[in-house]
């Protein structure tokens, strides 16, 4: 009895398979799209973070796009600022434009002293910060000199809000741009930048933080690695913070096609995949590839804001040679030496002594192009540093890809076996044993503090010795120390002891 012939059976089977494929296709597509559009949340303390710049202000084609990320600005509370009437902000945005105006300041304040060196006219002395504010508001004086903290407090308390802080730089202070999220499959960089963003307070200087440098690379997962898409950390209050584990390179959805060979603007040739690697795209180009447009944000921002120091945070697989170390631009060598002498120290209450973290470094090779420590150093006046920590989830020897692997909150048996093998055979298959995420973040945060410690021994902006531009010999201006408010940035010891989650704020 044959009521269905072979043809019919084949048709039914084929239809079933196609339907299944369609269902899988739809589900995965929805998941992929959800992941692409998922926005990682970062807590912005309103009383601390004064300004948020969009990437598109520094690279115009990114406007409204997936890569249009944020740069958070934290001003030092003691920084000297000029307040002016709001309708004058556009005219009074440069120090040269306000030098000859009528000025008032608070008698005996350090800001008054700093401003004295700048203004050609006499500064009229008033008794209190409030007096300065009211006199500018009423128009008696065109410019008021205050500390950033005084200015922002008075502006925020004023309902009418017709006074604001001018962009004019009254006193040149050191500034630092901390970059996390260059490579979204290297979580410690983003987390360290987030810990700094959500905890640091600055007394003197300006701190800029990027938590997601390549948001396009955060919009998809590392292909063919079977990676976990999200990982979670518990805050002090037991709430969950969610972070994405993205890819190393810009999403092909945003940058396509990929050439067989990537030729960097220097002429250097690299393999095709590097064309979407932001740390091979510097100095970047506003009219270039999508990745170059993002890289240009950093170069352009650093130049426009005359940033003193740049730190780019990374991770690499445990078997990668350049790990648990720093790479610095040659003009930052003096600061590096001062970091080795005075930095990388943390107090260990258990041993009741100050200990020093072992941190080797290499100078950035002159002929290796496209990296922050080479190009941002060559195309700006900043001292540039890059740090690497050891991340098992990037490694090739790993077992199953789980959230535990990302955080290394549970040991990976293959890596543990290799660590043991190295110990027993005196080999170096692994250069930095995989460690828990809190240690990696702690290492980055201590490195960030150490750059400041090193800079504070020099206190001058950079003397440019080699650059891709024509301003060799620029720099070398005394700007004094950059000072973080003590105890605001968690210590190396505390971050490990209490865990990185303890230093992440709750999302409201």
Q: Smallest distance, Å, CB 393 to another protein?
A: 22
Confirm if 186 and 394 have CB atoms less than 8 A apart: yes
Nearer to another protein, 2 or 425 (CB): 425
- Per the structure block, which two tokens stand in for 241? 């913070």
Q: Work out which of 166, 338, 372, 380 binds another protein, going by CB under 8 A.
A: 338
* Beta strands 103-106; 123-126: pairing state: parallel
Does 183 participate in binding Zn ion (rule CB under 5 A)?
yes
Q: Smallest distance, Å, CB 362 to Zn ion?
A: 15
Residue 138 binds what, of Zn ion, another protein, none (CB under 5 to 8 Å, by partner type)?
none
Residue 33 binds what, of another protein, Zn ion, none (CB under 5 to 8 Å, by partner type)?
none
> How far is it, in rounded angstroms, from Cα 149 to Cα 115?
16
Please state the length of the chain: 508
Does 383 participate in binding another protein (rule CB under 8 A)?
no
Does 352 participate in binding another protein (rule CB under 8 A)?
no
Does 52 participate in binding another protein (rule CB under 8 A)?
no
Does 442 participate in binding another protein (rule CB under 8 A)?
no
Q: Smallest distance, Å, CB 386 to Zn ion?
A: 8
Nearer to Zn ion, 112 or 243 (CB): 243
Residue whose token pair is 């009074």? 92
CA–CA distances in Å: residue 295 to residues 275, 304, 327, 340, 371: 12, 14, 19, 29, 10
- Total residues in contact with Zn ion, by rule CB under 5 A: 3
CA dihedral for 62, 181, 297, 306, sign (positive or negative): positive
Find the binding residues for another protein in span 399-438 (CB under 8 A).
Answer: 426, 428, 431
Does 276 participate in binding Zn ion (rule CB under 5 A)?
no
Q: Smallest distance, Å, CB 394 to Zn ion?
A: 8
Nearer to another protein, 143 or 458 (CB): 458
CA-wise closest residue to 145 among 104, 107, 114, 174: 104
Q: Is 487 exposed, middle or buried (0-12, 13-18, 19+ CB in 10 A)?
A: exposed
Nearer to another protein, 95 or 333 (CB): 333
| Helices (runs of H) and strands (runs of E) counted in the chain | 13, 21
CA dihedral for 372, 376, 378, 383, sign (positive or negative): negative
Q: Smallest distance, Å, CB 271 to another protein?
A: 17
Residue 392 binds what, of another protein, Zn ion, none (CB under 5 to 8 Å, by partner type)?
none
Nearer to another protein, 199 or 324 (CB): 324
- Per the structure block, which two tokens stand in for 312? 């780019």
Nearer to another protein, 96 or 352 (CB): 352
Q: Work out which of 341, 400, 417, 507 binds another protein, going by CB under 8 A.
A: 341
Find the binding residues for another protein in span 308-327 (CB under 8 A).
Answer: 321-322, 324-325, 327
Q: Work out which of 9, 13, 33, 366 binds another protein, going by CB under 8 A.
A: 366
User: Where does this chain touch Zn ion (CB under 5 A) — which range of 67-75, 137-145, 306-314, 434-442?
Assistant: 306-314
User: Where does this chain touch another protein (CB under 8 A) — which range of 153-161, 295-303, 310-318, 366-374?
Assistant: 366-374
Confirm if 214 and 183 have CB atoms less than 8 A apart: yes
Q: Is 414 exposed, middle or buried (0-12, 13-18, 19+ CB in 10 A)?
A: middle
Angle at 282 between CA 276 and CA 286, to 5 degrees: 85
> How far is it, in rounded angstroms, from Cα 440 to Cα 349?
20
- For 313-369, give the DSSP string: EEEE-TT-SS-SEEEE-GGGHHHHHHHHHH-SEEEETTTTEEEE----EEEPPTT--
Confirm if 53 and 145 have CB atoms less than 8 A apart: no
Angle at 180 between CA 175 and CA 183, to 5 degrees: 140
Does 314 participate in binding Zn ion (rule CB under 5 A)?
yes
Confirm if 324 and 443 have CB atoms less than 8 A apart: yes
Residue 66 binds what, of another protein, Zn ion, none (CB under 5 to 8 Å, by partner type)?
none
CA–CA distances in Å: residue 320 to residues 102, 223, 314, 389, 394: 60, 20, 12, 10, 10
Does 360 participate in binding another protein (rule CB under 8 A)?
yes
Does 462 participate in binding Zn ion (rule CB under 5 A)?
no
Nearer to another protein, 105 or 395 (CB): 395
User: Where does this chain touch another protein (CB under 8 A) — which range of 112-120, 304-312, 360-368, 470-478?
Assistant: 360-368
Nearer to Zn ion, 109 or 317 (CB): 317
Nearer to another protein, 100 or 365 (CB): 365
Nearer to another protein, 221 or 338 (CB): 338
Does 365 participate in binding another protein (rule CB under 8 A)?
yes
CA–CA distances in Å: residue 480 to residues 106, 122, 454: 22, 24, 12
Nearer to another protein, 327 or 489 (CB): 327
Segment (H or E) for 23: helix 6-37
Find the binding residues for another protein in span 144-203 (CB under 8 A).
Answer: none
Nearer to another protein, 87 or 423 (CB): 423
Q: Which residues bind Zn ion (CB under 5 A)?
A: 183, 186, 314
Q: Which residues bind another protein (CB under 8 A)?
A: 321-322, 324-325, 327, 330, 333-334, 336-338, 340-341, 356, 358, 360-368, 426, 428, 431
């Amino acid at each position: 009895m044959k009521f269905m012939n072979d043809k019919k059976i084949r048709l039914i089977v084929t239809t079933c398979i196609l339907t299944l494929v369609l269902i899988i296709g739809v589900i995965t597509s929805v998941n992929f799209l959800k992941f692409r559009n998922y926005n990682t949340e970062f807590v912005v303390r309103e009383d601390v973070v004064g300004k948020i710049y969009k990437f598109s202000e520094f690279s115009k084609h990114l406007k409204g796009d997936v890569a249009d990320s944020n740069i958070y600005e934290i001003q030092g509370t003691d920084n000297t600022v000029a307040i002016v009437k709001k309708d004058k902000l556009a005219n009074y945005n440069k120090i040269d434009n306000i030098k000859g105006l009528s000025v008032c300041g608070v008698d005996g304040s350090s800001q008054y002293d700093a401003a004295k060196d700048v203004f050609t006219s006499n500064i009229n002395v008033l008794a209190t910060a409030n007096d300065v504010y009211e006199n500018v508001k009423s128009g008696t004086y065109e410019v008021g000199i205050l500390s950033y903290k005084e200015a922002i407090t008075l502006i925020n308390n004023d309902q009418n809000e017709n006074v604001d802080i001018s962009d004019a730089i009254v006193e040149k202070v050191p500034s630092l741009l901390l970059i996390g999220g260059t490579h979204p499959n290297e979580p410690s960089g983003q987390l360290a930048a987030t810990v700094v963003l959500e905890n640091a307070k600055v007394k003197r200087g300006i701190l800029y933080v990027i938590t997601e440098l390549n948001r396009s690379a955060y919009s998809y997962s590392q292909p063919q690695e079977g990676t976990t898409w999200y990982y979670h950390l518990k805050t002090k209050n037991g709430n969950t913070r969610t972070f994405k584990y993205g890819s190393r390179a810009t999403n092909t959805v945003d940058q396509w096609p990929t050439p067989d060979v990537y030729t960097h603007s220097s002429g250097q040739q690299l393999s095709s995949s590097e064309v979407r690697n932001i740390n091979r795209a510097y100095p970047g180009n506003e009219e270039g590839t999508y990745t170059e447009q993002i890289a240009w944000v950093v170069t352009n921002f650093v130049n426009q804001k005359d940033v003193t120091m740049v730190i780019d945070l990374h991770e690499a697989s445990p078997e990668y040679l350049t790990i648990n170390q720093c790479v610095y631009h040659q003009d930052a060598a003096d600061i590096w030496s001062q970091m080795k002498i005075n930095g990388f120290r943390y107090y260990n209450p258990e041993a009741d002594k100050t200990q020093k973290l072992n941190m080797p470094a290499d100078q950035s090779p002159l002929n290796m192009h496209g990296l922050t420590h080479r190009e941002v150093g060559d195309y700006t006046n900043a001292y540039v540093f890059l740090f690497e920590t050891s991340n098992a989830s990037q490694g090739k020897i790993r077992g199953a890809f789980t959230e535990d692997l990302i955080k290394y909150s549970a040991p990976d048996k293959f890596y543990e076996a290799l660590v043991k093998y190295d110990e027993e055979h005196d080999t170096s298959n692994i250069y930095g044993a995989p460690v828990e995420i809190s240690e990696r973040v702690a290492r980055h945060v201590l490195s960030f503090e150490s750059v400041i410690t090193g800079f504070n021994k020099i206190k001058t902006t950079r003397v440019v010795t080699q650059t891709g531009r024509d301003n060799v010999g620029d720099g070398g201006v005394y700007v004094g120390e950059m000072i973080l408010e003590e105890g605001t940035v968690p210590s190396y010891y505390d971050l490990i002891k209490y865990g990185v989650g303890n230093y992440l704020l709750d999302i409201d």
